[in-house]
Every structure is written in structure tokens, then in C-alpha cells.
Amino acid sequence: MTGGQSPAVDEPRDPDVDLRVPAQRRAGLRAQGPIVAVVSLGGAVGACARYGAALLWPTSPGAFPWTTMWVNAFGCFVIGVFMVIITDVWAAHRLVRPFFGTGVLGGFTTFSTYAVDIQRLVDGGRVRTGLVYLAATLLAAFAAVGLGVALTRRLLAWRKR
């Protein structure tokens, strides 16, 4: 293969794994099966929690979607805390990160609903509100991750003193 050319269709991409070999294909599936299972389970838990938040704090059609914005911001805050803990403090089991980080928090935060909310606001003639929501959610999400990381690191440093 020379500069910029892609591999042939029947050429394996990873030289150590040939998925045409049944034993290697089964080994790959066995390795990925538990990860897929915990992400799925965690996603179901997170999505149920998000649904519960929507039931507790419903948003009227055409109104600013506060619940979705705060769920996303809170989920991003928890992601910041979680990433510091599992990278700096705790040698977690290999399935903790996919379960909680990708599954639970991925199912809880809802950027697909965020996109649908924006579309509904724009389609309903509330373009300015849609743009404010677009920017406010992104800013809140980034700020929440940063705050979660900063507060967790500060708390950990304080505990070590």
C-alpha cells in the first residue's frame, strides 16, 4: 500500500487479526460481548433516569427546554467528575467506564433530544429561542465538564493535605 491508497476489500486492516479466520472472529466477539452488554445495560439505566426527569419537569410545547438543558449539563458535570476519578484515583474494572461513562451517562445525556428541541423551536417560529438554546446548552455542557474536573481535582488535592 502506498501513500493515500486504501487497503483492498479482502485485505485485513489489522495485521494481527484476520476476521476470515473463525477462531479469531469468535475471539473478537467474546472480547467485545461484555462491553456491548454493559453499555446496553447502562444506556437503559441512563435513559430511564432521563425519562424520569422529563416526567418530573415537563416542558410545554414551544417553551424553552430547560429540563433537557439541565439534564445535559448535569450529565456533563458527572462525566467530568467520573473521568478524574477513574483516571487519577481509582483503577476501575475494565467494564466500569463503558457501563457508567458510555452507557449510563450516554443514555442520560440527550443530545439527540437537544437537536430535536432546536428543530421544533425553529419550526415553531422561535428561531431566536432555538439559537439561544443551542448556544446555552453547549456552553453549559462544556462549563459543567470543566467544573466537574476542576472541583474533583481540588477536592482530591484538599483531601491529600
Q: What is the mean pLDDT of residues 20-37?
A: 79
Side-chain half-sphere of 76: how many Cα atoms within 13 Å?
A: 19
- 113: CB partners within 8 A, 6+ apart: 65, 68
Residue 40 clears pLDDT 80, i.e. is over it:
yes
> What average pLDDT does the segment 110-134 reach?
93
- Confidence grade of residue 10 (pLDDT, cut at 50, 70, 90): low
pLDDT tens digits, 86-96: 988 888 888 99
DSSP secondary structure code for residue 35 in this structure: H
Report how far residue 101's alpha carbon sits from residue 34's, in angstroms, rounded to the nearest whole number.
Answer: 15
* pLDDT value of residue 103: 95
User: Does residue 153 carry a pLDDT above 70?
Assistant: yes
* Diameter over CA atoms, the chain: 58
